[in-house]
Amino acid sequence: MESFLAVNCSCTSVGRRCGCYQYKVYIESYHKVTGSIPVESEKVFKIDTLKTFLFAFKMNYLKLYQEFASYECNLLTTEQELQEQINNELKNRGLTIHHAKVRILAQCGHEHVCVVTNFLQRRTAIMCKNCRVQNIKITMKDLSSNENFHETEYNGYREIKCVLEQFYQVERTKEGCRADFMIRPRDSSRNEWIGAQLKVTTKMSFKMYTFRRLSKAYDDLLIFCYCLEDNKLWILPYFDIKNLKAISIYQSTLNITSIW
């Protein structure tokens, strides 16, 4: 099946929306329902041959209902409504059930209208338009947040390292380690290090410094809390804050374990 669908288009059209692509999608649906591929299949297809395959695959209301149900969507348009649409609107234009507009209850729990062929090809109708847009916004916000977070953390590490290197050897750990970096006395050659988890904030907000993302277990590590704008650093044993998900240090308590 994989090799069947991965063949190159035989027409001269450019892009995935050419006629050959659409017919291949229909054949994929044929395979999903029947479990087989028409015996006339060839490695390179002509549109006329693909049309034959398309007509061999007869979509009906029950199969369409099952197709939506397999993606946790409910087809709300009745069989009578669908047939009336086909008879009154589609047949005159040479179109089929694949081009019908149907009402569905999407995965998100909202009702909306979609074109059957769009659902079969791209599955975009699994969620309503508003929920799709909202999900895209959340995804983009998360990507932006993660990118800014890693950049902020790296800038904090670079500044702290410049200070610590006067007294310690400083090594960055690999991605995935509980410790972000580790230190040992500058004149030591023993393989004994102190692990440190780094939390960085860009500036004071509402007269306090806030450090988040403490939900993981950092047993036996030191927690370095650093503010980029004010060059303030607090070093806290994890044991003292192990039940906290965030740390807020108020302006009136700036003497908390500050090293400068």
- What local confidence, expressed as pLDDT, does residue 254 receive? 45
Residue 74 has pLDDT above 70, yes or no: yes
Residues 151-195: tens digit of each pLDDT: 888 899 999 999 999 999 999 998 778 899 999 999 998 999 999
Q: What percent of the chain has pLDDT over 90?
A: 22
- What local confidence, expressed as pLDDT, does residue 52 receive? 43
How far apart are the C-alpha atoms of 65 and 190, rounded to whole Å? 69
How far apart are the C-alpha atoms of 104 and 110, rounded to whole Å? 8
Show the domains of the chain with their CATH numbers: 1-58 (no CATH), 148-253 (3.40.1350.10)
- What local confidence, expressed as pLDDT, does residue 135 receive? 73
Q: Pairing between strand 222-227 and 194-201?
A: parallel
Lowest mean per-residue pLDDT among 46-55, 136-145, 234-243:
46-55
Residue 26 has pLDDT above 80, yes or no: no
| Mean pLDDT (whole number) for 72-81 | 90
Residues 126-157: tens digit of each pLDDT: 888 888 887 776 665 554 555 567 788 889 99
- What local confidence, expressed as pLDDT, does residue 16 receive? 42
Task: Tell me what the pLDDT averaged over the chain comes to.
Answer: 75
Which of the 8 DSSP states describes residue 118? H
In b/e form, how buried is each residue of 160-195, taking b as 16+ CB within 10 angstroms?
Answer: beeebeeebebeeeeeeeebbbbbbeeeeeeeebeb
- What local confidence, expressed as pLDDT, does residue 183 receive? 95
Q: Tokens 């932006």 identify what position?
A: 144
- pLDDT band for 222, please (50, 70, 90 cuts): very high
Q: Name, of 28-32, 38-42, 193-197, the range with top average pLDDT.
A: 193-197
In b/e form, how buried is each residue of 66-86, taking b as 16+ CB within 10 angstroms?
Answer: ebbeeeebebebeeeebeebe
